[in-house]
C-alpha cells in the first residue's frame, strides 16, 4: 500500500512540474526588447566667467608674495678660509716609514689602507712610486 501512494505522489508532482514548465515560456521577441529609455533634455552649459586667482602663503612659513628687496652682491661677506677646490700638484716623496710618508718639503702624509695616505689638510692622497697625489 505504501508503494502505490508513493507512485501516486510522484505522478502528481511530475504533472504539476510539467504544467509549471509550460507556463514559464520565454518572452516573445516583441516583449524581449524593452523600450529605449528616454533621454533627459540637455541642459545648456553653465556660463563661466574669468576670476583672478589669489594665492596667499602660510603665515610665517613658505615664500612671501611680496619679497624683500634683493641684497646687492657686494654687501655679502667674503667666505672664510674654505678649502681650495683645486688639487695641489704631486709631491715628491722623501722617505716613508710604517706610519706614512714625508715629502721633500717636510709635509707628513699619514698611512691608511694600501697605497692611500691622508694629507695635512685631511684630503685622501695616493702614493704612486716616488710621488703622492692628493685629491
Instruction: pLDDT tens for the chain, 135 residues: list them.
Output: 667 778 778 777 777 665 554 555 665 655 556 677 778 778 888 888 888 888 876 666 555 566 666 666 665 566 666 555 677 789 999 988 888 889 999 999 998 778 889 988 888 999 888 899 988
**What would you report as the CA-atom Rg of the chain, rounded to the nearest whole angstrom?**
49
101 in a structural domain:
yes
120 in a structural domain:
yes
Residue 108 domain boundaries: 87-134
How many domains, the chain? 1
38 in a structural domain:
no
109 in a structural domain:
yes
Q: Cell 516583449 appears where? A: 31
The count of other CB atoms within 10 Å of the CB of residue 109 is 23
CA distance readout (Å), 46 to 30, 41, 76, 88, 131: 41, 15, 56, 72, 81
Determine the pLDDT at residue 32.
57
67 in a structural domain:
no
Determine the pLDDT at residue 57.
67
Amino acid at each position: 500500500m505504501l508503494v502505490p501512494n508513493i507512485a501516486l505522489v510522484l505522478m502528481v508532482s511530475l504533472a504539476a512540474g510539467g504544467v509549471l514548465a509550460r507556463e514559464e515560456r520565454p518572452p516573445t521577441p516583441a516583449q524581449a526588447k524593452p523600450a529605449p529609455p528616454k533621454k533627459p533634455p540637455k541642459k545648456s552649459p553653465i556660463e563661466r566667467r574669468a576670476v583672478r586667482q589669489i594665492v596667499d602663503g602660510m603665515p610665517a612659513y613658505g615664500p612671501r608674495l611680496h619679497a624683500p628687496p634683493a641684497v646687492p652682491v657686494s654687501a655679502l661677506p667674503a667666505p672664510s678660509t674654505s678649502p681650495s677646490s683645486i688639487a695641489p700638484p704631486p709631491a715628491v716623496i722623501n722617505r716613508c716609514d710604517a706610519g706614512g710618508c714625508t715629502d721633500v718639503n717636510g709635509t707628513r702624509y699619514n698611512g691608511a689602507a694600501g697605497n692611500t695616505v691622508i694629507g695635512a689638510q685631511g684630503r685622501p692622497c695616493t702614493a704612486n712610486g716616488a710621488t703622492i697625489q692628493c685629491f
